[in-house]
Amino acid sequence: MGRFLNLFQHIFTKQNPATQQLVSFIRAVTGMVPINLALYKVALQHSSIEEGHTSNERLEFLGDAVLSAIVADYLFKKYPLKEEGFLTDIRSRLVNRDALNGLARKMHLDKLLHYDTNLIKSSGHKFMYGNALEAFIGAVYLDHGYERCQKFVIDYLIVNYISIKDLIEHDTNFKSKIIQWAHKYHLQVVFKILEEKQCERYKEFTAQVLIGEKVMGEGTGRTKKCAEQMAAQQALKYTEQIETN
């Protein structure tokens, strides 16, 4: 009864322009009318906003788990003959922080996120758009259930914005590539974890890669492996410049 009441209020209550914009966005990307609009408003409320508002961190936690399950199920069924290592690798590329950040921008979710500009500039928050996308997925799940959320993730996000074929064909093991490059020139490669920061619900690592005692790249991630991959990717850009000069 509560869901129908929310839907009734949504249809017959006059909405302000910001709310109309949000409803139009939800309908465009999910193909569904939001029943509990408050969920989506919370999903797009960053923790940098002043106290007294509910941030999207709890919904982000939920959306992260739901997204991981949907992608795992999708890959398991799409590639029945592939081993666990392959499935894990492709899933991690699909749902890593950079990929989700880029995906949020492509679907223009970043335009709807509410945050304190001054705090963001001073403290970073590199992955806030990707985190908001996870929170949005959590909102869709609570509002419409798992099956409809699954349809949204697969039919809209994956089909429209992600090429699994390209992910498979293009090796993104940047750490392996930078090690191969260094060995080619008889140079030593060292990866260092500079910082391990405990955030509210996850850890964030900062890694550095040195080649011949020179810092060549730095990166951050929620795992040491992710941070090292980011650092290696940055280092590869320098090696490309060296070889072209």
Q: Residue 122 — pLDDT band, cuts 50, 70, 90?
A: very low
Specify the higher pLDDT residue, 210 or 47. 210
Q: Residue 50 — pLDDT band, cuts 50, 70, 90?
A: low
User: Are residues 197 and 131 part of one domain?
Assistant: no
Q: Answer yes or no: are the C-beta atoms of 215 and 184 closer than 8 Å.
A: no
User: Are residues 179 and 163 part of one domain?
Assistant: no
Question: Distance (Å, rounded) from C-alpha 240 to C-alpha 245?
Answer: 9
User: Are residues 188 and 75 part of one domain?
Assistant: no
User: Are residues 153 and 86 part of one domain?
Assistant: yes
Span 52-73, average pLDDT: 89
Q: Residue 15 — pLDDT band, cuts 50, 70, 90?
A: low
How many folded domains does the chain comprise?
2
Which residues are known to be catalytic?
64, 134
User: Are residues 77 and 116 part of one domain?
Assistant: yes
Q: Residue 242 — pLDDT band, cuts 50, 70, 90?
A: low
Q: What is the CATH number of the domain that holds 84?
A: 1.10.1520.10
User: Are residues 134 and 196 part of one domain?
Assistant: no
Helix (H) or strand (E) holding 242: helix 224-244
User: Are residues 131 and 14 part of one domain?
Assistant: yes
Question: Distance (Å, rounded) from C-alpha 21 to C-alpha 44?
Answer: 13
Structural domain including 50 reads 2-169
User: Are residues 165 and 190 part of one domain?
Assistant: no
HEC string of 76-135 equals HHHCCCCCHHHHHHHHHHHHCHHHHHHHHHHCCHHHCCECCHHHHHHHCCCCHHHHHHHH
Examine the pLDDT at 146 and tell me if it is beyond 90: yes
Residue 241, pLDDT score: 67
Judged by phi (left if over 0) then psi (alpha if -120 to 50, else beta), residue 131 lies in alpha
For 100-139, give one letter per residue: b (16+ CB within 10 A) or e: bbbbbeebebbebbebeeeeeeeeebebbbbbbbbbbbbb
Contacts of 226 (CB under 8 A, 6+ apart): 96, 97, 205, 219
Q: What are phi and psi of 193, to 5 degrees?
A: -90, 110
User: Are residues 230 and 163 part of one domain?
Assistant: no
Residue 169, pLDDT score: 74
Identity of residue 111? K
The last residue of a domain, from among 169, 186, 206: 169
First to last CA, the chain: 69
User: Are residues 115 and 88 part of one domain?
Assistant: yes
- Rounded mean pLDDT of the chain? 83
Q: What is the pLDDT of residues 175-232, one digit of tens each?
A: 888 888 888 888 889 999 988 887 666 678 899 999 888 898 888 877 788 788 888 8
Residue 52, pLDDT score: 54
User: Are residues 84 and 16 part of one domain?
Assistant: yes
Question: Distance (Å, rounded) from C-alpha 57 to C-alpha 79?
Answer: 33
